[in-house]
Amino acid sequence: MATIRFTKMHGAGNDYIYVDTMKYPVENPEQLAIAWSRPHTGIGSDGLVLIGRSDIADFSMRIFNADGSEARMCGNASRCIGKYVYEAGLTTKTEITLETLSGIKVLQLHLTADNRVESVTVDMGPATDIHTVALGEGYDFTEGIAVSMGNPHLVLFTDNLAQIDLTEVGPRLEHHPLFPDRVNVEFAQMRPDGSIRMRVWERGSGITLACGTGACATATAAVFSGLTRGETAIVMDGGTLTIDRDPATGHVLMTGPAVRVFEGEIETD
Ligand SMILES: N[C@@H](CCC[C@H](N)C(=O)O)C(=O)O
């Protein structure tokens, strides 16, 4: 039996359990992500995030969805890790490099007057593999836009977001045959002020209140479709992220909040 200390954090409502594996090694993250994410019998979360040492960056991140599957990248968790490591005194840097399965990301911390991390900008790298996909028969949408942010996304623009039944169409599209590794699905509606309202069905976690890589994919798909140019606010159920593009590198820049909810300890067998 081992006792593991964890921190529950959220970014725009996308909530994960964070464990510092430099202090508390975790041997079976896939099983623990499933057990701990359950709302009634576990801690309750969208998944599990492991913060670790890295030989090539300041820290490393591993992210497991609520179904135990490992993802290559998570935007909201990367911001929360910036807050975690700075406020825990693990670094004094305000520019932090983070090793992920989709490469090294650079986090820029934005501090309050009393030295807390209020928000974080993450250089998410380039969006890649952007293309229109035909969904085929049996779907209300004829086509969507596929975008990779290190992890796969399918963005669908609609004029009536309120009418989308995420619990019905989300899982069907997550398992669409075009995406053998499954896909994160974003439904998006342009708003008169140029911002985008978006709701997400996440691969491996279902409906979440926000998705950082999904917000980047949505902003990228909007530019690809000629709907927006430049900085875009992506308004999700749990909060808003600002997505921009670095003109020098073409990289996607994501800015948003990171919030610590509570700490606790949990026993493993
Ligand atoms: N919520 C995340 C993405 C988490 C991983 C995703 N569900 C996947 O399987 O690719 C974010 O904020 O980016």
Nearest to 62 by CA among 90, 38, 27: 27
Ligand 1 pocket, residue 184 CB under 6 Å: yes
CA 213 to ligand 1 centroid distance, Å: 6
- The residues carrying an active-site annotation are 74, 211
Does ligand 1 come within 6 angstroms of the Cβ of 212?
yes
Q: Is 238 in the pocket of ligand 1 (CB under 6 A)?
A: no
Ligand 1 pocket: which of 213, 236, 240 to mutate (most atoms <8 Å of CB)? 213
The span from the CA of 19 to the CA of 16, in Å, is 10
Record the tokens describing residue 148, joined without a space.
Answer: 């990779």
Average pLDDT across the chain, whole number: 97
Q: Answer yes or no: is 238 a known binding residue.
A: no
Instruction: Tell me if 151 CB under 6 Å of ligand 1.
Output: yes
As a whole number, mean pLDDT of residues 65-74 equals: 98
Residue 76 pLDDT exceeds 90: yes
Contacts of 114 (CB under 8 A, 6+ apart): none
Alpha-carbon Rg for the chain in angstroms:
18
Residue 1 — very low, low, confident or very high, per pLDDT cuts 50/70/90? confident
Those residues whose C-beta lies under 8 Å from the C-beta of residue 266, and which sit 6 or more positions away, are: 3, 4, 6, 36, 43
State residue 269's pLDDT score.
78
28 is in an annotated binding site: no
Question: For residue range 90-146, what is the model confidence (pLDDT) as tens digits?
Answer: 999 999 999 999 999 999 999 999 999 999 999 999 999 999 999 999 999 999 999
